Amino acid sequence: MTEPPRPPGAGDPGDRPDLAAPSGVPGPPGADEPTAPLSGAPSPGGHPPPGGHPPPVGDQPPSGGYPPPGGYPPPGGYPPPGGYPPPGGYPPPGGGYGAPTAGYASNDDKNWALIAHFGGALGVIVGGGLLGWVAPLIALMTRGQQSPTARAHAVAALNFQITWAIASVLSWVLTLITCGILFFVPMLVWLVPLIFGIIGGVKANEGVLYRYPMSYSFTR
């Protein structure tokens, strides 16, 4: 029997037309170049792209990366210029909230120390060198039993003024014995407790216990 005719293209495989471009004929531009993988997509072979997988969109770090410049802030934010204030706030200018002067437990101690020293010098002026011990004695009896600091200042001034009060009496006796020839001796003796009493008051104002020279310890 005769075989019916085949439609075009339905013949043997060897008879089909070759759809590939003939050898030597260039294809469209870029047709033979390998396609680059998309950003973030794994490269051929299952390996991640250089730098690892990109983070999710919501977790993108800010420019410059982590941590921010200067490190993370402490809890509560950065401190203000000059640091945080101490508990209770900063003290007001001029010595704080009733803070005592350096070297004294309270302002009363300082006042009585100044009375002992400056009062001794004033007593020398008023009493002609004989009453310099009165003010230190008052300071010792009034504040000396309550404050060791005030007592130390009062005792130092008292011993010095008593010593030079005795020296002043002896100088006047010497002047009388010599019939006034040594009249300048009481004046010199009078200047010593005056000058050193003022020096002791200045040191006491600075919070320093002044050690009087040429003083005998009558009381402690």
Give per-residue pLDDT as tens, 2-38. 555 665 555 554 445 444 444 444 555 554 555 544 4
Mean pLDDT score of the chain: 74
- The Cα–Cα gap between 174 and 180 comes to 8
Across 79-84, average pLDDT:
59
Q: What is the pLDDT of residue 39?
A: 47
Q: How far is CA 14 from CA 6, 23, 45, 104, in A?
A: 15, 18, 37, 120
Q: How confident is the model at residue 119 (pLDDT cuts 50, 70, 90)?
A: very high
Q: Which two tokens stand for residue 121?
A: 């010098």
Q: What is the pLDDT of residue 182?
A: 87
Across 193-218, average pLDDT:
94
Q: Which two tokens stand for residue 25?
A: 């004929």
Buried b (16+ CB within 10 A) or exposed e, 148-169: ebbbbbbbbbbbbbbbbbebbe
- The Cα–Cα gap between 123 and 115 comes to 11
- The Cα–Cα gap between 158 and 218 comes to 8
Q: What are phi and psi of 109, to 5 degrees?
A: -60, -40
- Mutual angle of helices 148-177 and 184-205, in 10-degree steps: 170
Q: What is the pLDDT of residue 220?
A: 79
Q: What would the pLDDT profile of 137-169 be if each residue is shown by its tens digit?
A: 999 999 998 999 999 999 999 999 999 999 999
43-57, 69-83, 120-134: which is most confident: 120-134
* Strand, helix or coil for residue 213: coil
Nearest residue to 117 (alpha-carbon basis) of 3, 46, 26, 215: 215
Q: Is the peptide bond before 67 cis (omega within 30 degrees of 0)?
A: yes
Q: What is the pLDDT of residue 127?
A: 87
- The Cα–Cα gap between 24 and 29 comes to 15
Task: State the distance between the two ends of the chain, measured CA to CA, in whole angstroms.
Answer: 155
- The Cα–Cα gap between 133 and 215 comes to 13
